[in-house]
Amino acid sequence: MTAARKPLIGIVAHPNQEGPEEVNSRYLGRKDDVGAILRAGGLPVMLVPVYDEESWAEAFARVDGIMLTGGWDMGPEAMGLVSHLKIENPNALRDQADLTAARMALALNKPLLAICRGAQVLNVAAGGTLVVDIPSEVPGALKHRRVPGEGDVFQNHAVTLAEGSLIADIMGSLEILSNSFHHQAVKEPGLGLRVSARTADGVIEAIEHPQMRFCLGLQWHPEEHSVPQTNMQPIFERFLQAASGG
Q: Average pLDDT of 74-102? A: 84
14, 116, 183, 205: the active-site residue: 116
pLDDT in tens, 204-233: 999 999 999 999 999 999 998 766 678 999
- Cβ 123 vs Cβ 116: under 8 Å: no
Confidence band of 184 (pLDDT split at 50, 70, 90): very high
Q: What is the pLDDT of residues 134-165, one digit of tens each?
A: 999 899 888 887 665 555 556 788 999 999 99
Task: Examine the residue annotation and report whether 21 is marked as an active-site residue of this protein.
Answer: no
Q: Model-level pTM?
A: 0.92
> Which position among 205, 208, 223, 224 bears the catalytic label?
223
Is 189 inside any structural domain? yes
Residue 3 counted as domain residue: no
Reported as type and span, the H/E element at residue 194 is strand 194-198
CATH of the domain at 134: 3.40.50.880
Give domain status of residue 104, yes or no.
yes
The sheet with strand 204-208 has its strands ordered as: 43-47, 8-12, 65-68, 112-115, 215-218, 204-208, 194-198, 155-161, 175-180
3-state secondary structure of 164: coil
Q: How far apart are CA 148 and CA 137, in angstroms?
A: 20
Per DSSP, 224 falls in state: S
Q: 87 in a domain, yes or no?
A: yes
What is the DSSP secondary structure assignment for residue 18, as one 8-state letter?
S
Q: How confident is the model at residue 1 (pLDDT cuts 50, 70, 90)?
A: very low
Please give the average per-residue pLDDT across 70-79, as a whole number. Answer: 88
Q: Which of 14, 183, 209, 221 is catalytic?
A: 221
Three-state DSSP at 24 gives helix
Determine whether 209 is an active site residue: no
The CB density around residue 4, as the number of other CB atoms within 10 Å, is 8
What is d(CA 150, CA 4) in angstroms, rounded to the nearest whole number?
47
Query: Which 3-state string (H, E, C) describes 1-70?
Result: CCCCCCCEEEEECEECCCCCHHHHCCEECCHHHHHHHHHCCCEEEEECCCCCHHHHHHHHHHCCEEEECC
Provide the pLDDT confidence category of residue 66 given band limits of 50, 70 and 90: very high
Q: Is residue 52 part of a domain?
A: yes
Catalytic-residue membership of 116: yes
pLDDT given at position 151: 55
Distance, CA of 138 to CA of 28 (rounded, Å): 32
For residue 66, the SS3 value is strand
With 80 as the cut, is the pLDDT of residue 27 above it?
no
Cα–Cα distance measured from residue 9 to residue 42, given in angstroms and rounded to the nearest whole number: 7
Domain that holds residue 192: 8-243
Q: What is the band of 34 on the pLDDT scale with cuts at 50, 70, 90?
A: very high
Please count the structural domains in the chain.
1
Could you give the CA distance from residue 180 to residue 205 in angstroms, rounded to a whole number? 9
Asked if residue 34 is part of any domain, the answer here is yes
The per-residue pLDDT for 198 is: 98
Question: 185, 135 in Cβ contact below 8 A?
Answer: no
Residue 61: strand, helix, or coil: helix
So what's the pLDDT on residue 210? 97
Q: Residue 88 above 60 pLDDT?
A: yes
Give the pLDDT confidence of 95-129 residue by residue, as tens digits.
Answer: 988 999 999 999 999 999 999 999 999 999 999 99
Backbone angles phi, psi at 180, to 5 degrees: -155, 125
pLDDT of residue 14: 80
Residue 1 lies in a domain: no
pLDDT of amino acid 84: 72
Whether residue 165 is contained in a domain is answered as: yes
